[in-house]
Chain A
C-alpha cells in the first residue's frame, strides 16, 4: 500500500478493483459491515408493535358509522427491530458527519449539535402554533430576534419569516414584487432570469404567472449588463439574479443592474442561495436588492436532513415591505410581541399579499439558526465567509492545472470552484468522474450545473473543512481527474465499492414502482 503525499493510504490504479475480494462469496450476500436491509414490509407484521398503549376507555364510539374495517396493511416492528432497521439503513448514506461534502451551491457545512439541543428545549419544541400569544412570548421574541439578525446582516429593512424553504422564499419574493406592481396599477408580464440560474427561479416566476426570458452571460460568466439594459422596458416586472452567481462568481455590476432595473420601473430579486460567501462582509441591501431569500439550511447551518426541511425567510426593501405575507411578528411599545395574522391585522398591513403557510414558518429551524448566529457572532460570521471563499480559491488554484476551470482567468471565485469536463478521454463524462469520487470516499461535487458550462462540476468545500481534509480531497480529485483524462475504463463502471453499483434510472422512470406490493418481481431479481 502506498501513501499519498497528504498522508492518505491508497492503492495503485491497477489494484483499484480487487478481484480477490470479488471472488469470495458469502452466504448472505453481505460483506462484514456492508449489510443489506430488507423493507419493513418484508420483515414486519401488522400485528406487531413497538408501542405499548393503555387500554381505551369503555365507551361507545361516535365515528359516524365510518369505522375503518378493511386492513390498513402497515407492518410494525418491535423497538429493537425498528432501531436496527433504520441504523442499518443509515449506514448506507453519505453525510457531512461522514466526510467532506463538496456539493456546490448546497453549502454542506457542519451542523453544530448545540443547535439540535436548543431546538429540543420544551419551551420551543412543545408549544402549539395557536396558543394564546401571551403564552408564547418567548417564541415570538425568538422569531423577532432572528428577524433582526437577518435584517442587519443583509442591510434590508423588513423580513418575512414564514416561507418553508428556498423555493418557497423565491415565490414569496416574486409575489411581493407582483403585488407591488399591481398596487401601482402596473401590470408587467416578464421576469428576466440569467441562463445560469437555479431551476427553481424560472419555475417560481412561471408559477406566479410571469413569462420567463433568459438574460445572456458574458464570457466571464457574469450577467451581460448591456444586453440586460437593452431588454429592460415597460413589460419587465423584474430580474431574478443569483449573487454570488451559480458559477461561483460575484456579480460586480450588481448595483448597476439594480439601478438600471429600477430606472425602468422594475424590481430586483436576488437569489440568496449563495449568501454564505458574503455573510458579514457584504450587505445585499447596499447593492439595490428589493427581495432576497435566505436558506437557513445553507448559510446558517440547519441540517439538510436528506432533503429538508429547509427554511427560507425573505428580506425586503422599503418598496416591498408593505406587501410581506402574514403572519408577522411585531414588538409593541411595552416590550411585548404580537402576532399579526388574520385576526389581528390592521390598517398598515392591508397591502400584505396574504398567507403562504398554515402557521408561522419553520420554528424548529429558527431556533437552530439563531443558536448558530449567536455562536458565531458578527465577527465569526465574517470569518465564515472569508474561510469559505479562501477554501474554494485554494481548491480552484490547486486543480486548475489538471482540470479546465472556465472562469479561473477572470479572477478569484467566491465560495465555490467551477470546472468543466474538457479534456476527458474515451467518452468519459462528469458522471463517471463523480462516481469515481464515490469510490475515493467522497460525495461527488454538483454535476452538470450550472448549465452554461459543459459537463460542469461545482465544488463547494465550505468553511468547516480543515486544510488537511481539503488537501486529501484535492489529492483524490486530482487522481480521478487524471484517470478521466487518461481514459480509464474502470471509471465507467464506478462506483465499485459503494453499497450499490450504478442504478438503472431509465427503468425506474419507464415503469415507475413507487410503493411496495406483495407480488413484486424484484425480490427475486435481488436474490
Chain B
C-alpha cells in the first residue's frame, strides 16, 4: 500500500524488539469480543490512484459546476476569481502539512502570516484587533453573541431581521442550551432595512444587537445610530459581514462604531466548495481583546532580540482553562486564513477597491436589466453585489426550472425562509467579477421565458 512504508521484514524485526509474537499481541487490551478478525465487511479493498480518481471524477461529474453555466448565487457564499498564485501558496507542503504553531521557533511562517492576516482583517473591518480565524461566519457570529454576554453580563441579544437565516438558526440552536434570550423575526420585502425597528427594541437589558451589513436581502443601512443607542444602554453592536469584498466599497462597521465585527472570509481565496471549509473572521475593539474567542497571534522577541511571533493570551483557551475557557474552539481555519491573506496581499487596497467597484457596478447593470422584465421588481434602493428580485409568484419552482435549463439564477428566499409565506416571492441574485454580460443576458432571457 503506497502510503505505508513498513515491509513484512520490518514488521518482524520491530515485533522482535518489542518482544511480541504478532501484532495481535499489541491489541490485548481490547476485549476479545470487540476484536475484529478480518477487514470490515461491506467496504471495498484498497485501490490505486487511477481507480480512486475514476470513482471521484464520476461523482464530481454529477454536479453542475458554477463555472460551466450562468451563475448568480450568493446568500453568504460568493463566487470570486481566485488567482492561480493563491492556490499555489496554500499547496506548499510547509503550510499545508504543518500543525498549529505550538513550537514557534519552527513555525514562524504560519505565525507571521497569521499576524498579517489579523492586521488585514482589523483594517478591513475598521477595528483595533482581530483573531487568527474561526470555523466560519455563522459560528463566529454565535461566538460574538456569547462574548457580548461575558462583557455585559446580560443575556438578551437582538438579532436583526436582515441577519442570514442560517446564522440565526445556529444562534437559536446554541441559545436553547445556553439560555440566551434571542429576539428575532424574519425580514419583510421592503426597500429599507429594519434599523428603526432595532432602535425601538434596545433597552437596559440588551446585551448586544447583531446586524448584518449588507443584510441578507442585499440592503445597506448605516449602523451609526444603532451603535449610539446601544452604547447609551451599555449594550454592544455586533456587525456581521458575509461578503468582505463589500468593504472595499462601503464604509467599515468599525467606522460606524461597531464593537465586534465578524464575518465570512470565503470570498477571498477560498472558493465555494459546497459550503466548507470556510473561514470565520473576528475583530473587535482593543478593550475587549481578553474576552475574544479563538487563537491570537502576537508579536514578541526571541532570546537574541529578533522579532518573532507566538500564539498568545492562551489563558483564555480550553487547553489551559478547560471548563472556564472563553470557547471550546481548538482548531481554527488556518489554511483558509492563509488563502484569504494571500489573496488580500495580492489585491492590496487598490485591487480591493477596484474589485469591489467592479462587483458593484456589474450588479447595478444586472439589476437594471433584470428588473425590466415584466413581473420582476427590484426590491433594493441600495446594494453591493447582491440584490433581491420580487416575482409575482413563488420563486422556488422558477429557480429549479432555470437550473434545468442550466442557469443557476440565484437563491430563492423560500428555501431560506420556508415558514414565511410571501417571502417566497423573492430571489437573491449575486453578481461578481466572474459574471459576464452574456451570462446576465442569458439569465434575463431565460427568466422572461419562464415567466411568460
B361 partner, pick from A48, A57, A443, beta carbons under 8 A: A57
Chain A residues within an 8 Å CB radius of B68: 122
Tell which of A72, A129, A167 touches B123, judged by Cβ atoms closer than 8 Å. Answer: A72
Docked-complex contact A512 and B313, CB < 8 angstroms: yes
Is A152 interfacial (CB-CB < 8 Å)? Answer: yes
Residue B152 CB within 8 A of the other chain: no
Is the C-beta of B371 less than 8 angstroms from some C-beta in chain A? no
A101 touches B (CB below 8 Å): yes
Chain A contacts for B219, CB-based, 8 A: 64
Given contacts A61-B361, A74-B124, contact A501 B220 (CB under 8 A): no
Which chain A positions have C-beta within 8 A of B170? 354-358
Chain A residues 277 to 293 lying within 8 A of chain B, measured CB to CB, are 278, 280-283, 286-287
Contact with B along A348-371 (1 / 0, CB 8 A): 000001111111111111010011
A258 shortest CB reach to chain B, Å: 11
Find chain A residues with CB under 8 A from B93 CB.
95-98
Q: B108 interface residue, CB < 8 Å from A? A: yes
The docked-state distance in angstroms from the alpha carbon of A498 to that of B44 is 45
**Bound CA–CA A62/B342 (angstroms):** 30
Q: Please tell me which stretch of B202-210, B230-238, B411-419, B443-451 contacts chain A, meaning at least 4 of its Cβ atoms lie within 8 angstroms of it.
A: B411-419
**Segment 79-108 of A: residues with Cβ below 8 Å from B:** 79, 82-83, 85-87, 89-98, 101, 103, 106, 108
Measured between beta carbons, the chain B residues less than 8 angstroms from A126 are: 65-67, 79, 271-272
Is A376 on the interface with B (CB-CB < 8 A)? yes
- Cβ B83 vs Cβ A56 within 8 A: no
Complex contact B329–A44 (CB within 8 A): no
Per-residue 0/1 for B324-336: is the Cβ within 8 Å of any A Cβ (1 yes, 0 no)?
A: 1101111111111
Of A3-11, A132-140, A422-430, A480-488, the one touching chain B: A132-140
Q: Total interface residues on A, using CB and 8 Å?
A: 215
Nearest chain B CB to A286 CB, angstrom units: 5
| Cβ–Cβ contact A70 & B14, under 8 A | no
Whether B166 lies near A306 (C-beta < 8 A) is no
> Please, how many angstroms separate the alpha-carbon atoms of A512 and B311 in the complex?
10
Chain A residue with minimal CB distance to B348?
Answer: A76
Taking a contact as CB atoms closer than 8 A, the residue among A149, A387, A522 that contacts B299 in the complex is A522
Contact between A309 and B100 (Cβ–Cβ < 8 Å)? Answer: no
Other-chain contact of B4, A106, A281, A359, A463 (Cβ < 8 Å) = A463
Could you say which residues of chain B place their CB within 8 Å of the CB of A60?
A: 364
Contact B275 A358 (CB under 8 A): yes
| B328 A207 Cβ-Cβ under 8 A | yes
A115 to B334, CA, bound (A): 18
Q: When chains A and B are docked, how far (Å) is the Cα of A526 from the Cα of B44?
A: 57
CB-CB under 8 A for A467 and B348, given A92-B109, A167-B329, A203-B327: no
A225 within 8 A of B: no
Q: Which residues of A contact B31 (CB under 8 A)?
A: 252, 254-255
Residues of B near A438 (CB, < 8 A) are 103, 105-106
Question: 1/0 contact trace for A239-254 toward B, CB 8 Å?
Answer: 0000000000111101
A37 contacts partner chain B, Cβ-Cβ < 8 Å: yes
Interface flag for A263 (CB, 8 Å): no
CB of A77 within 8 A of chain B? Answer: yes
Task: Please report the C-alpha to C-alpha distance between residue A383 and residue B1 in the assembled complex, in whole angstroms.
Answer: 9
A89 vs B111: C-alpha distance in the bound complex, in angstroms? 9
B150 beta carbon closer than 8 Å to chain A: no
In the complex, chain B residues 18-59 whose Cβ is within 8 Å of any chain A Cβ: 18-20, 23, 25-31, 33-36, 39-49, 51-53, 55-59
Interface segment out of the listed A12-20, A226-234, A513-521 = A513-521
Residue in B63, B320, B324, B362 with the greatest tally of chain A CB atoms within 10 Å? B63
Q: CA of A464 to CA of B220 in the docked complex: distance in angstroms?
A: 52
Q: Is A40 an interface residue (CB 8 A)?
A: yes
Q: B291 at interface (Cβ–Cβ under 8 A)?
A: no
A48-B350, A515-B130 are contacts. A305–B47 as well, Cβ < 8 Å?
no
- Is B119 on the interface with A (CB-CB < 8 A)? yes
In angstroms, how far is the closest chain B Cβ from the Cβ of A34? 11
4 nearest CB pairs, A to B? A76-B348, A359-B275, A123-B60, A305-B335
Add 5 more A-B contacts to A59-B364, A95-B93, A128-B79 (CB < 8 A): A56-B361, A126-B79, A306-B338, A435-B105, A503-B302
26 pairs, A vs B, C-beta closer than 8 Å: A48-B348, A65-B222, A68-B247, A68-B250, A74-B120, A74-B348, A77-B348, A94-B94, A96-B98, A128-B73, A141-B59, A170-B328, A280-B39, A283-B36, A304-B334, A308-B331, A308-B335, A309-B336, A358-B264, A438-B103, A499-B105, A502-B105, A503-B301, A504-B301, A508-B300, A513-B298
